[in-house]
Amino acid sequence: MTRLALAALLILLAPALSSLAKVSVDDAPKSNLIDSGSEPHMDLRYSVNSGDKWLLFLDRALDLQLYWGGKPMNVGRVPGVRFRIPVQALSADDNTIKLRLSKLSIELIPSKETSAAKINALTSSWEPLQRITVDITIDSRGGLISSKVETPDHLTPYLEGELEDLVQTIENLIVQLPTELVGAKGVWTTDSPSKHLQFTGTQSRRITLASVVDGILALKVHSKRDFPRQSKKPFHNPDLETLHYFRGSEEKTTRVDTHCPFPIFTATEGSSEKEVDNLLGMLAKSERGWKIEAGIVSAEDDDKAWAKISSLFPTSEPSPKKD
């Protein structure tokens, strides 16, 4: 495969979602109440203390199929990934919460189709992502105010895509609560701009408060993204890349204690499909399906606590704890 073909393939592989740049308050998603649910109605807000610390674990299993010029490509089994991310509340008041995520550890989960040598090579290539710092500011309802990422220099296009995917996955773990009073079986929606490798589209969510037991919110979230036909100049290349379509959806169940914006546990299943005219003038298509399990444990717990909770990689050996 030529270098140009490889570059085009990496662009297709890159699973980007939202922008990493600052988002203004006006652009943050607004909630729209559909059904207030049953009595009693509650004013739902996140209540966090400055200095609070947690460990966020995120497991992702991915299936990927690529088509090049109408023909399927054998990309091999994609290894699963386990992220361990320390989280700290840098500041918190009645209106805003600023969170910092840093010092990630990343474990690639081998499968029967991936050799130890391949896993070691992939782990080494992902090392720059362990040095990122993500600052996320939300309002007390969980609405995104800003998201800023400090990254190492000279990330490859593939890692840039993985980073964008990781950051929006983290952002999407925070369920936005409604501004209106709501009770069990209440329903609300949010709509927000979404980006994918410089393409722009929309993301909509429908959120249902299934139940409230002992202060724990059980929520169901359906997310949908849609991008119209558009063109861009990828990676400063003078040739245009044309997106024919990009669409995706997710179904998520999550349990939330409002003393932390990230969930106690969430399970997500999703899929996406896109089709582009690539840099070689050939039609390229990708189909992705994924499962994600994520959740928060206290800062004093280690990987073994999460290994007992997650079902995606039950036989995985936890990585050594890192401070």
In the 3-class helix/strand/coil scheme, how is the chain assigned residue by residue? CCHHHHHHHHHHHCCCCCCCCCCCHHHCCEEEEEECCCCCCECCCCCCCCCCEEEEEEEEEEEEEEEECCEEECCCCCCEEEEEEEEEEEEECCCEEEEEEECCEEEEECCCCCCHHHHHHHHHHCHHHHHCEEEEEEECCCCEEEEEEECCCCCCHHHHHHHHHHHHHHHHHCCCCCCCCECCCCEEEEEEEEEECCEEEEEEEEEEEEEEECCEEEEEEEEEEEECCEEECHHHCCCCEEEEEEEEEEEEEEEEECCCCCCCEEEEEEEEEEEEECCCCCEEEEEEEEEEEEEEEECCCCHHHHHCCCCCCCCCCCCCCCC
Task: List, for residues 35-65, the tens digit of each pLDDT value.
Answer: 999 999 999 999 999 999 999 999 999 888 8
Q: Which two tokens stand for residue 216?
A: 């724990």
Token code pair at residue 72: 């399927």
Tell me the per-residue pLDDT of 156-179, one tens digit each, with 9 for 90 and over.
Answer: 877 887 888 899 899 999 999 999
Q: Are 180 and 208 in contact (CB under 8 A)?
A: no
Q: Does domain 10-307 have CATH number 2.30.230?
A: yes
Distance between CA 208 and CA 132 in Å, rounded?
33
The residues, ordered by sequence, that sit 6+ positions from 115 with a Cβ below 8 Å of its Cβ are none
Instruction: For residue 140, give both structure tokens.
Output: 């007390």
Nearest to 146 by CA among 14, 317, 27: 27
Q: Bridge-partner residues for 83, per DSSP?
A: 58, 106
- Using CB atoms within 10 Å of the CB of residue 136, give its burial: 0 to 12 exposed, 13 to 18 middle, 19+ buried: buried
Each of the 323 residues of the chain gets a pLDDT tens digit; together they read 444 343 444 444 444 333 344 444 455 678 999 999 999 999 999 999 999 999 999 999 988 888 887 788 876 667 889 999 999 999 999 999 999 999 999 988 877 667 777 788 878 888 899 999 999 999 999 999 999 999 888 788 778 878 888 998 999 999 999 999 999 999 999 988 787 767 888 889 999 999 998 889 999 999 999 988 888 765 545 566 788 888 999 999 999 999 999 999 999 999 999 998 866 667 889 899 999 999 998 877 777 778 788 888 876 554 444 44
* Domain definitions of the chain by residue range: 10-307
In degrees and rounded to multiples of 5, residue 78 shows phi and psi of -85, 125
